Structure formats: structure tokens, C-alpha cells
Amino acid sequence: MDWTAYHHADSISANRLGKMKLNVITLVIGLLGLSFLGIHYGGKPWTPMRIAGVVIGLPSLALLVLARIELGGSFSVRPKAQTLVTHGLYSRIRNPIYVFGGLVVAGVLLYINQPRVLWLFVAVIPLQIYRARQEEKILHARFGDEYREYKSRTWF
């Protein structure tokens, strides 16, 4: 038996498990933070702005969590081309984490009645577009025509 290949496969499995644990930990921390905001601001009067925040934020949060799950071990903070994920939300949107993450932030800002802060949020959008383009370059270099075809049938 080739023990070197076995050890290599075992270390890859451990690496994936470590990444998945980190994903779960960051997701739990984010959900705890959102739960705190929900509880803290829950007693405030329900204005149309707060209702809009919930209507935008909660479905976006569910879709953000789904996007993270679908991305699996391919999620990373820095752009990497590990796997081309093209199923689920990624079959329609190339960057659902950016889209739904931004909508969650907008929903939270409306929920906590801080619409003026949305201007700062608008300033972050070009940075997210820049980051998506950097990831795009890496994915194109790694997957070539397969990525180009995927990009032609998806949005952002």
C-alpha cells in the first residue's frame, strides 16, 4: 500500500474539516450577533422602515446561509480557485454571498433605524465589485473556457 498517498488524502480531509469548522464558527458568531440585535431592538416600535429591514434582511440571511453551505470547503477570505461551484444559488448568481450579505447588512441597518448609515454601505459596493472581479481573474485563469461559459449564463 502507498502510505504516502494515504497520508496525503488524510491531510486533505483534515484540511477540509478545519475549513468547515471555521465556516460553522463564523456563521454561528454572525447569527449570534444578529440575534442580539433582534433582541436588543425587538421592543422598539414597528415602523415601516423596521418592517422593510426585516422583509429584506431575513430572506437574505437565509439565502446567505444557503450560499455558504453550497460553497462548502471552497469558501475562503482571500480569492482562491479551488473548485468551480455552479450548483444551487451559484447556478444563477456568481457571487451570492456578496449579494445577500449586502442585503442582510442593509436590512439590519433599516431594522435598527439607522438609514443614514446606508450611505456608507453604498460606498462599500464598489469594493465588493472590485473583489468579485479579482476573484473572476483567478477563476478564469484556473478554469478557462469552463468559467467563461459559466459566467455567460449567470448574473454578477
Q: Where are the domains of the chain?
A: 3-152
For the entire predicted model, the pTM comes to 0.79
CA distances from 38 to 27, 33, 77, 141 (A): 16, 9, 27, 43
Is the confidence at residue 155, as pLDDT, over 50? yes
Regarding the domain delimited by 3-152, which CATH topology (the fold level of the hierarchy) does it fall under? Four Helix Bundle (Hemerythrin (Met), subunit A) (1.20.120)
| pLDDT per residue as tens digits for the range 4-53 | 444 444 555 566 666 667 777 877 888 898 888 888 888 889 999 999 99
Give me the long-range contacts of 115-121 (CB less than 8 A, separation at least 24): 115/49
